[in-house]
Each structure stands twice: as structure tokens, then as C-alpha cells.
Structure 1
Amino acid sequence: MAHPLDPAPSPKIVVAPDSFKSTASAADAAEWLAEGVRSVIRDAHIVLTPMADGGEGTSFLFEGERICLPTTTASGRLTEAEYTFHATSKTAYIDVAAASGLPAVEADPVPLTGDTYGTGVLIADAQTRGAERVVLGLGGTATIDGGTGILVALGVNPLDQAGYQLPPGGGALEHLAGFDTAKVNVPAGAMEWVLLTDTTAPATGPEGAAHVFGPQKGATEADIEVLDRGLARLCEVTEVDPSTPGLGAAGGVGIGLTWLSSMLHGDSSHVHILPGARVVADSNGLVEQVDGAALVITGEGRYDGQTGTGKVASVVGELAREAGAVFAVAAGRFDEQPADGTIAVTLPERAEVREQLLQAGAEIAVAYLNTSTVQG
């Protein structure tokens, strides 16, 4: 039995943030938030568990060799991109954002013409190294092409009614009539596909890829209607159900891949659309780590209406509540307020993201101590 004068046990604190776009990796964000916490709660037992939900930085969280090779951006410009290849399990972990991400074209968005060809190059390369399974992170893309850029990279060409190849991007998809599969890369297309989504959005409609994510990719209202019609046409030609939850992720990449896999295997059993944050939480041990935690901290660039559809903060929050831990979020901005009882800290406006996260960590620690004091 504990003696009344025995010191209180050190609180277990789990720090599990997402990356902060191009300013901080998930690992750096976790380290800096933890440093801020430790400046206040010096004896804390802190566990760092960097997170991702299928967006930028997801592939970095899995074990394997980092592969870097030349490819193209969403606008077709030459670039270099990395992915992770785990030879033992014959699995490639690829972020669509690595080649086809928004940051590379943010200054000059390409909502109608941007395509995922560069991601297809990474996929084809992974297959030549022995990959039989691709875990594809579907977040942070600049594209709404339904995955047709990947199809082109794998030897499948979308055609119009006259038999001519469609130009790149989702803007031309409403004229889709069929596909030329004479040169399809069968070994690559026949791999097992695990698609990690950061949203439950369907492919089309008011809650679909074009309407929900088009504006952040530079699409005007007129563009959005064109893109939505294009994705609807793609689903019609491929006979893929546009209402499938998560199919709107990464501009509908899952549409093209579901069709390709179904064509090669006879059904869609080799395509698995899964919530990215949950998969990562199972993989990196977060589910086990939150057990016995007093405080669980996450972070992301913006906490908004999309957060609750499967992004890191919502999943970490669910796990924290299930474990009975205090939950805290550090974000660059809050467009929506988290659930009651959540410690919400807005990053201070400072030039260095490290300093922002250090201060946020310290503020969370103070708020936690105040909360635990009030609760007894």
C-alpha cells in the first residue's frame, strides 16, 4: 500500500501528432511538443508515437528501405519522390502526395489538368523490386483525375469516343468512352492494393471529391462541376460504385485502381479501402500505448470540418477517450471546436515551427495540470 508521503507516480503522456504539411514531419512535431511538455512536467513518462492518416509522410512511418527516383509532379514537371519498400513482406508504402502532392503546384494549381502519372511511376518501380502489395496513402494530392494518371503509367490509356487518348487530368474525363489495355502492366496492376484514406467522402456529389476538396486544389465553381461530371463518367464506364465511402480520397484514385484490379482478377477482392489513421495506429503501437496514459496529445495544421471524417486528430481523440485519458490538440488554427473536455491550443504566431510547438506543448502541460488539480 502506498505511503501518504510517497511521491505521486510520473504521468504517462503519449504524443501522437500528424505532420504539419511542409513545415514539420510527424516525428519532429512529436519531439518538439514533448520537449514543451517536459519543460513543465519534468518527471513525465513521455511516449512519442508519430502519426499519419494516409496523407503526406505516411510512408515514412513504416519500416523498410527508402527509395528515391525521378518522376513527375501533378503538372508533369520533373521531380524526385521517395517511398518505402519492405523487402521481407514484399510491400511498398507509397504516398500519392510524394509525387502528385499539392505543395509542388501550390503556386500554380492544376485542378483540371493535374494527374497522378508520377505516382504510377513509383508504383511500377516498386513492382520491379519485388513488391506484391502496395499500401497507398491517399491524402494531400493536387489532383482529381480518378487515378487515370496512374493507369497511364501502368500502360492503360483512357480514350474518347473517337478512339483518341484523353489529355491528362480530370477535366477531360467527362469525354471518356473506354480504355486501351493492350499494353497494360499486368504484374503491377495485379498487386494487392491497400488504400489508406483520410476521409469518408464518396467519389461524386455534394460530399464528393470535387465539391469537398476541389477548392483547396484551386478549382473554381465551374471547374468543380466539370470534375464532378468527369468522376461520375469514370465510375459509369468502370462500373465502380461512386457512393463507396472513401472513394473520394486523393481525387478519386481508388476508382481507377478498383477497375484495374477487377479487370485483372475478375473482382475487386484485391483492393482494400481502409481508414488510414486507424491502420497507422494499429501498426505503430498507438492503440497499446494509450493504455494507462494520463494525457494524449495530437496535432495538425488545421482542425476543421474534415477532421472528424478520419483524420489523425479524430482517431487519436477516440483512442484517448476509450482509454480514459485527457485529450489535447495543438493546431495552427481551429475552424471548429473539438469535443467538450478537449484541451485545444492554437499555435502561437512565430516564425519557427519548432518554437510554436514547444510553446504549445508547454501550454498543454499547464492546462493538463490545472485540469487534474480541479478534478482532484
Structure 2
Amino acid sequence: MTHPDPAPSPKIVVTPDSFKSTASAEDAAEWLAEGVRSVIRDAQLVLTPMADGGEGTSSLFEGERICLPTTTAAGRLTEAEYTFHAPTATAFIDVAAASGLPAVEDDPVPLTGDTYGTGVLIADAQTRGATRIVLGLGGTATVDGGTGILVALGVNPLDAAGYQLPPGGGALEKLASFDTAKVNVPAGAVEWVLLTDTTAPATGPQGAARVFGPQKGAGPEDVETLERGLARLCEVAEVDPQTPGLGAAGGVGIGLTWLSTMLHGDASHVHIVPGARAVADSNGLAEHVDGAALVITGEGRYDGQTGTGKVASVVGELAREAGAVFAIAAGSFEEASPEGTLAVTLPDVEDTREQLVRAGAEIAVAYLNTSTVQG
């Protein structure tokens, strides 16, 4: 009598984004996997932390972690880290590391917040030998069009009377010109790779001020002020405000495109690319997903912006291409997930680890039930 071969252990890929300031992508992957393993004990688990250009992106790249003093979006002293990969002369920097929302969440600075602190990191990276800066454009507290970075690199925005503008996007509508007498040419002339988590343009109904301003504490009048400021910046910088992705990180790409064009004569040294795709290419996610039975991702909130290039949308595409079951664990679902997705809301408990372990177990149970029904 012959016995049927036992069912092979399912290959399960766990590839979440970070959960804002509560769990890194690495921790989230570990804890979701722990929950899966409690239900499917023989699973072949592959953990591939993900990011889309927001908080935690730079830590997923290979290289030395550099920590140095800088300033928050509100101009207060802080410390921030980035990754420097010497063999390729590449620095991986999250704008959120210095200029992120968590540091000013209790006292938002939508009109006066700036990216000067990120510029300090960029200048430091160049002194270490970086000729290529990969900048993660997500999770910022600012809508300054990247002018804070410009100031840190020696470029001063001026009003019509020749006075330097105060920090932040609230003053940009008065912009008349830039003083470039003290520009840090080596830092400004690097190859820029801007990782976006959105396709939003700089201005308009889907632009940086109107879509992301309220998330950064901007009221209705503030939003209109920031909208006028970004429009004026694009005009002075001679940058097309409707360029997809230019609205990421409060329009950081505007200032950097102007700077690079001023130094090189064109914008060929600025590359605006989808962050989640770039990270997936770097960590070999497509190869990991190949042959998987189940692919699990996670993020803090699944909403209307998820489909514009965030981790869940990219992971979902790869899962579907591989013929795998796709699951999402999220703190909340403000939009319906794609048909056929296993969507699990994190349980309402205090401990983040427990939330994710329990979500992983719930996904595993749902997957087994789905497999039984389909099989």
C-alpha cells in the first residue's frame, strides 16, 4: 500500500513596512512571522522587511550607520542616522530622520517647519565621499519645497528686497530669487535618487499642500498659503509643478531639481522613482515571492494613498504575479483592499508586538481556511 506524499510546507513571505514610530519593518516582520508560526508550525518563513521611502527606508540598505547631531523640522537640536555605503559612494538618507513628523507631532509646524536638518545629513555624507544620495521622501513634517536643504547647502532664498526668507513654506509666496554665492557645489552636484511613496504633483488638488498639508497640521488657510508658496517656488525654480512625485515630502524635489539644474545645466542628475519598487529591487523581493503560497505585508493605515506607490500596493502586485495569496495587516482600513485579499485589522491592545503576533496568527488561520475551501 502506497501512502500519499505529505503536503509540502508552505512558503510564506512576510514583508511589511514599518508601523510609524511603534515598530520597525524588521520588528514587524519578526512579530507577524511569530504569529504565523504559532498556527502553521512547518511553514517556510522568509522575512523581507520593506519600505517605500518613508521612515526606516535607509536602514534597509547595506552600509555603515552614521549618527550625528542635526535639527528637527522645528529647528530644535536632535540626532539622526543615515546609511553610507562606501564601496558605491552612496548615502541612503530618510528625510523623516531629521525632518519627520513624530518629533513635532505635539506641536506641528506646517508653515515654519523646514528641511534644514536633512541638509546637514546630506552635507555630512558628501564629506565622507558620497557622490550619490538616495533620499527617502516620506513621513516629513514640512512643506518647504526643499528650501531648508538648500539653506544647509549654502543657498539662501530671498524676497524682492533682497532679504533672506524665514524658514518654512509659509514664506515662499514672497520668494523672488536665490543667493548662490556660498553654494556647496560638491554636495549639490551629487547624483540624486528621490524615493517617493506618492505620485502627487507639487501643486493642485492632488498636490503637496492640499493632500498632505492637513496631515502636518495645516488648517484651511495654511493650506492655501502653502499652495501659493509651492506654486511660486516652482515658478522661480522653473520646475513643472505637475511632475509626478514632485509633491512628496512637501515638495523637496522642487528645490533639489532647481539646485542640480543650476549646477549641471539640466535635470539629468535627479531621478524621481517609486520608493517601494526601488527597495523591492534592492532586497530581491520578487525572487523571494516566487513560489510562495502566501505573502503578508503590513502598514499602519490602509487608505486612498496606499495605491499610489506605497508598500502594500507594490507587494500586492508581486504576490498576484506569483499566484500567491495576499494578506495585509493594518492598524485601520479606510478603503477596501483589493478583492481576494486577506485583510486583518490589528487588535485593539496596547502592546505593538502582541498586536502583530495576533494579526499574524489570524492571517494564518484565514489562509488555511481559504486553502481548504479552494482545495
Q: TM-score range by the shorter chain?
A: over 0.9
Q: Which residue of 1 aligns with 2:373?
A: 374
Deviation at 1:337, TM superposition (A): 1.1
Q: Counterparts of 1:124 and 1:247 in 2: how far apart (Å)? A: 22
Any residues of structure 2 matched to 1:112-261 within 5 Å, and which?
Answer: 112-261=111-260
Q: Could you list the per-position Cα deviations for residues 255-291 of structure 1 after superposition, in whole angstroms to 9, with x for gaps in the alignment?
A: 0000000000000000000000000000011011110
Partner of 1:53: 52
Distance 1:159 1:288 in 2: 50
The secondary structure found in structure 2 opposite 1:47 is strand
Rounded to whole Å, the distance in 2 between the matches of 1:71 and 1:345 is: 39
Taking the aligned partners of 2:250 and 2:188, their CA distance within structure 1 comes to 19
Structure 1 residue 84: Cα displacement: 0.3
Tell me the CA shift for residue 6 of structure 1.
1.2
- Give, in angstroms, the shift of residue 140 of structure 1: 0.1
Task: Determine the C-alpha separation between the residues in 1 that align with 2:315 and 2:218.
Answer: 31
| Structure 1 residues 326-365: aligned runs within 5 Å | 326-365=325-364
Aligned with 1:39: secondary structure? helix
Q: Give the whole-Å Cα distance in 2 for the aligned partners of 1:286 and 1:230.
A: 39
The secondary structure found in structure 1 opposite 2:39 is coil
Equivalent in the alignment of 1:37: 36
Q: Deviations over 1:45-82 (max 9, x none)?
A: 00000000000000000010000000000000000000
Residues of 2 paired with 1:179 and 1:138: CA distance?
A: 23
Q: Report the Cα distance in structure 2 between the residues aligned to 1:132 and 1:87, rounded to whole angstroms.
A: 10
Matching residue of 2:307: 308
Q: Deviations over 1:238-260 (max 9, x none)?
A: 00000000000000000000000
Q: CA deviation at 1:4?
A: 4.9
Q: After the TM superposition, which residues 312-327 of structure 1 pair with which residues of structure 2 at under 5 Å, given as runs?
A: 312-327=311-326
- Helix, strand or coil for the counterpart of 2:161? coil
d(CA) in 1 for partners of 2:230, 2:42: 54
For residue 265 of structure 2, what is the amino acid of its counterpart? G
Structure 2 counterpart of 1:233, one-letter code? R
Superposition deviation, residue 211 in structure 1: 0.4
SS, match of residue 88 in structure 1 = helix
SS in structure 2 of the partner of residue 224 of structure 1: helix
Q: Distance in 2 between matches of 1:53 and 1:287?
A: 15
Aligned partners of 1:10, 1:282: CA distance in 2, in Å?
Answer: 26
2:290 matched to which residue of 1?
291
- Partner SS for 1:262: helix
Cα offsets for 1:202-240 (capped at 9, x unmatched): 000110000000011000000000000000000000000
Q: Distance in 2 between matches of 1:241 and 1:318?
A: 30
TM-score normalised by L of structure 2? 0.99
For 1:211, the aligned partner's letter is: R
Deviation at 1:301, TM superposition (A): 0.2
Amino acid at match of 2:9: S
- How many Å separate the matches in 1 of 2:357 and 2:3? 34
- Equivalent residues, number: 374
**How far apart are the structure 1 equivalents of 2:167 and 2:43?**
53
Partner of 1:7: 6
**Aligned residue number for residue 265 of structure 2:** 266
Write the deviation string for residues 277-326 of structure 1: whole angstroms up to 9, x where unpaired. Answer: 00000001101111000000000000000000000001000110011100
CA distance in 1, matches of 2:3, 2:335: 43
2:91 corresponding residue in structure 1:
92
1:80-115: CA deviation from partner (whole Å, max 9, x where unpaired): 000000000000000000000000000000000000
Letter in 2 for 1:275: P
Whole-angstrom distance in 2 between the partners of 1:318 and 1:228: 33
In structure 2, the residue matched to 1:279 is 278
The 2-side partners of 1:162 and 1:318 are apart by 52
Gap regions ≥5 residues in structure 1: none
CA distance in 1, matches of 2:157, 2:192: 21
Letter in 2 for 1:348: P
* Whole-Å separation in 2 of the counterparts to 1:71 and 1:134: 18
**What residue identity is the alignment partner of 1:60?**
S
SS, match of residue 344 in structure 1: strand
1:155 partner SS? coil
Separation (CA, whole Å) in 2 of partners of 1:270 and 1:169: 25
Aligned-partner Cα distance in 2 for 1:174–1:221: 16
Deviation by residue 1:7-62 (Cα, 9 ceiling, x = unmatched): 10000000000000000000000000000000000000000000000000000000
CA distance in 1, matches of 2:368, 2:23: 27
Counterpart CA distance in 1 for 2:169 and 2:240 is 18
Unaligned runs of 5+ in 2: none
Q: Which amino acid aligns with 1:264?
A: L
Aligned equivalents of 1:337, 1:40: Cα separation in 2: 26
The root-mean-square deviation of aligned C-alpha atoms, in Å, is: 0.5
Indicate whether 1:102 and 2:88 are aligned: no
- How far the C-alpha of 1:5 sits from its partner, in A, is 1.9
